[in-house]
């Protein structure tokens, strides 16, 4: 294992860099990377959060994920550009295409992060890393950080060192010097909650965690504790896999442009989301046994409800029926801004346990299949339910990109 | 950079050859520019977006000028990039 060489290639402020490169290509005199700027959702539709920021914007303490409103308070002359996901997908594709020149083992970890296995190659890995970095900069017009180590975890941490446009290594002998002094929340899988827990017992740096007794961590934090303890010691051995991890759940959510305050509209929104998740789960050839619905009120309070079914389902009508019931049971009548439906406990569509009481509605299945085919061929809005007409609510809701699968971050390598 | 009207020649080669284009001048009259010579052509794919860039020579307002045209493959649009 020691001989593996893994690269983690991470695009510096991805959305913003891609947007900047695209704009320069189209003759814009301004490089967004050199001024305080952000890529942000549409404020009028209330998707107003910071998705990516330039380095000058970072100097104003603007953080990814905060509202555009608060970002503007920190920096009134901030330039805000809307996102265009399909273009970012193109930029990401171009980068992955270029990386294929260097190794057949490439794992697309998210839209802007890629692992590449460069083990047992003839050329020196350091030279190659710099070549990749320079080629991406010159040919594609954006910058990346490359982290190099013997495993994916350390490579990922290394790419997060000083930015932009740099190559860093973090081999096991460098852990003590380069990784252990970092605050414990910089470790992969340590979120704000775990950070609080660790801090409460005097663990502030990754080194503190690594040097805590393993059995003590286990008795305190159980299995997840062992995982982060291993990570703190640089132990991780998953392969760079070309295959996407198996899907464990399918969900979509939508923030509405206006507050929904009546049942009729809320049901329509749920129906729109059911159409999307139904279509996606059928496309995966799966069925789900658990349907869960969650809602967020206009004052950002959220709650959810879920139900386990006797027979796994993939039918839009069934999903909608359950979602509506769940919604009616939990809704207290507040104005709502966000809805989501998620399906889990997935199983294959080929064989599944039938129930004596719950009959499968064959007509429904055929109808779903036919509608899916029509929509894939002629566009998502080629067939819609008439209840959506003049409702102001989209008949199929959810997803950033409608045309293609969009690789999202996962908590697993 | 705005899209322009263009007459181009698509032969069996890999890329189209710009012949003449039309732009609106400051007094809103149309000006037609003939592309006399392509000095060089290169392909770029900034942010993954493929474009052909042509540096060309032609006569504008009775004087010979150098300008750069761009052809965007994904939209099939021509642009006057630099003049």
Residues A13-72 pLDDT 10s: 999 999 999 999 999 999 999 999 999 877 666 667 899 999 999 999 999 888 888 898
The reply to whether A224 and A259 lie within a common domain is: no
Q: Which pLDDT value is given to residue A413?
A: 61
Examine the domain organization and report whether A330 and A260 are in the same domain.
yes
The mean pLDDT of chain A is 89
Report pLDDT digits (tens) over A140-187: 999 999 999 999 999 999 999 998 899 999 999 999 999 999 999 999
CATH code where residue A66 lies: 3.40.1170.60
Tell whether A257 is covered by a domain: yes
A325 contact partners, CB below 8 Å, separation of at least 6: A307
If one counts the domains in chain B, the total is 1
Span B17-37, average pLDDT: 88
Mutation for A interface: B4, B23, B46, B83, most A CBs within 10 A: B46
What pLDDT score was predicted for residue B49?
94
pLDDT for A401: 42
Indicate if A193 and A285 belong to the same structural domain.
no
Using a CB-CB cut-off of 8 Å, the residues of chain B touching A143 are none
Residues of chain B neighbouring A28 (CB-CB closer than 8 A): 1
Q: What pLDDT, on a 0 to 100 scale, did the predictor assign at position A2?
A: 52
For A355-376, letters b (16+ CB in 10 Å) and e give: eeeeeeeeeebeebeebbeebe
Among candidate residues A271, A277, A230, A272, the one with its CA nearest the CA of residue A251: A277
Residue A98: pLDDT band by 50, 70, 90 thresholds? very high
Instruction: Tell me which residue in B44, B47, B81 faces A27 most closely, judged by beta carbons.
Output: B81
Q: Which domain holds residue B71?
A: 3-82
pLDDT of residue A408: 47
Q: A25, A111, A140: best mutation site toward chain B, by most B Cβ within 10 Å? A: A25
- Nearest CA distance, B32 vs chain A (angstrom): 21
The answer on A213 and A336 residing in a single domain is: no
Cα-based distances in Å from A135 to A130, A169, A277, A382, B70: 8, 19, 39, 42, 22
Asked if residue A71 belongs to a domain, the reply is yes
Predicted local distance difference test score (pLDDT) of residue A399: 65
Task: Indicate if the pLDDT at residue A397 is higher than 70.
Answer: yes
With 60 as the cut, is the pLDDT of residue A87 above it?
Answer: yes
Q: What average pLDDT does range A225-245 have in this prediction?
A: 88
Determine the structural domain holding residue A267 and report its residue range. Answer: 249-388
Q: Among A111, A170, A180, A104, which residue's Cα sits nearest to residue A144?
A: A111
Q: Is the pLDDT of residue A233 over 90?
A: yes
Overall domain count for chain A: 3
* The predicted structure's pLDDT at residue A7: 96
Question: How many CB atoms within 10 Å of residue A95?
Answer: 26
A312 and A223 together in one domain: no
The predicted-structure confidence for B36-80, as pLDDT tens digits, reads as follows 999 999 999 999 999 999 999 999 888 899 999 999 999 999 999
Burial of A227 (0-12, 13-18, 19+ CB in 10 A): middle
pLDDT of residue A411: 54
The answer to whether A141 contacts B47, with C-beta atoms less than 8 Å apart, is: yes
Residue A155 lies in a domain: no
Task: Check whether residue A281 and residue A310 sit in a common domain.
Answer: yes
Query: Which residues of A are less than 8 Å from B45 in CB distance?
Result: 94, 139-140
Q: Assess whether pLDDT exceeds 50 at residue A388.
A: yes
- φ, ψ dihedrals at A336, nearest 5°: -115, 140
Q: Encoding tokens for residue A70?
A: 């608060």
3-state DSSP assignment of residue B48: helix
Among the partner residues B47, B74, B79, nearest to A142 by beta-carbon distance = B47
A210 and A256 co-located in one domain: no
CATH number assigned to the domain comprising residue A217: 1.10.150.20
Together in a domain, A304 and A208: no
Give me the sign of the Cα torsion angle A315, A316, A317, A321.
positive
pLDDT in tens, A294-347: 999 988 888 899 999 888 899 999 999 999 999 999 999 899 999 999 999 988
CB contact under 8 A, A25 and B79: no
- Percent of chain A whose pLDDT exceeds 90: 62
A92, B48 Cβ separation under 8 angstroms: yes
Q: Residue A332: give its domain's CATH number.
A: 3.30.1490.100
Q: What is the pLDDT of residue B23?
A: 86
B48 touches chain A (CB under 8 A): yes
């Amino acid at each position: 294992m020691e001989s593996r060489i893994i690269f983690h290639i991470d695009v510096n402020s991805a959305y913003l860099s891609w947007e900047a490169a695209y704009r320069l290509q189209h003759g814009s005199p301004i490089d967004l990377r050199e001024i305080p700027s952000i890529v942000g959702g549409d404020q009028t539709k209330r998707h107003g959060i910071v998705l990516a920021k330039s380095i000058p914007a970072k100097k104003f303490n603007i953080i990814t994920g905060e509202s555009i409103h608060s970002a503007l308070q920190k920096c009134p002359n901030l330039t805000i550009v809307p996102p265009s996901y399909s273009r970012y997908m193109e930029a990401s594709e171009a980068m992955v295409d270029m990386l294929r020149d260097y190794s057949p083992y490439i794992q697309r970890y998210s839209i802007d992060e890629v692992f590449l296995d460069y083990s047992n190659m003839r050329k020196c890995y350091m030279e190659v890393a710099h070549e990749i970095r320079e080629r991406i900069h010159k040919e594609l017009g954006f910058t990346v950080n490359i982290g190099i180590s013997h495993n994916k975890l350390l490579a990922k941490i290394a790419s997060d060192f000083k930015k932009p446009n740099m190559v860093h290594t973090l081999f096991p002998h460098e852990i003590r010097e380069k990784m252990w002094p970092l605050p414990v929340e910089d470790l992969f899988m340590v979120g704000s909650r775990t950070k609080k827990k660790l801090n409460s017992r005097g663990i502030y740096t990754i080194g503190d965690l690594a040097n805590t007794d393993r059995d003590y961590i286990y008795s305190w934090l159980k299995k997840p504790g062992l995982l982060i303890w291993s990570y703190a010691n640089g132990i991780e051995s998953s392969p760079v896999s070309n295959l996407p991890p198996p899907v464990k759940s399918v969900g979509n959510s939508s923030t509405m442009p206006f507050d929904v305050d009546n049942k009729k509209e809320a049901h329509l929104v749920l129906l729109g989301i059911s159409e999307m998740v139904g279509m996606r789960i059928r496309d995966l050839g799966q069925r789900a046994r658990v349907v869960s619905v969650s809602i967020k009120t206009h004052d950002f309070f959220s709650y959810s409800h879920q139900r386990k079914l006797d027979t796994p389902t993939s039918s839009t009508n069934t999903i909608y029926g359950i979602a509506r019931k769940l919604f009616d049971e939990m809704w207290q009548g507040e104005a709502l801004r966000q809805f989501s439906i998620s399906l889990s406990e997935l199983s294959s569509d080929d064989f599944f346990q039938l129930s004596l009481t719950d009959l499968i509605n064959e007509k429904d299945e055929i109808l779903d299949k036919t509608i899916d085919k029509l929509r894939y061929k002629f566009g998502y809005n080629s067939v819609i339910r008439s209840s959506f007409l003049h409702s102001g609510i989209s008949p199929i809701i959810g997803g950033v990109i409608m045309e293609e699968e969009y690789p999202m971050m996962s908590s697993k390598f | 950079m705005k899209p322009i009207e263009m007459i181009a020649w698509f032969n069996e080669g890999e890329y189209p050859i710009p012949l003449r284009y039309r732009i609106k001048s400051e007094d809103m009259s149309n000006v037609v520019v003939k592309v006399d010579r392509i000095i060089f052509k290169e392909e770029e794919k900034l942010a993954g977006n493929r474009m052909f860039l042509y540096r060309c020579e032609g006569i504008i307002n009775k004087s010979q000028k150098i300008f750069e045209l761009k052809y965007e493959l994904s939209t099939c649009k021509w642009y006057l990039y630099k003049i």
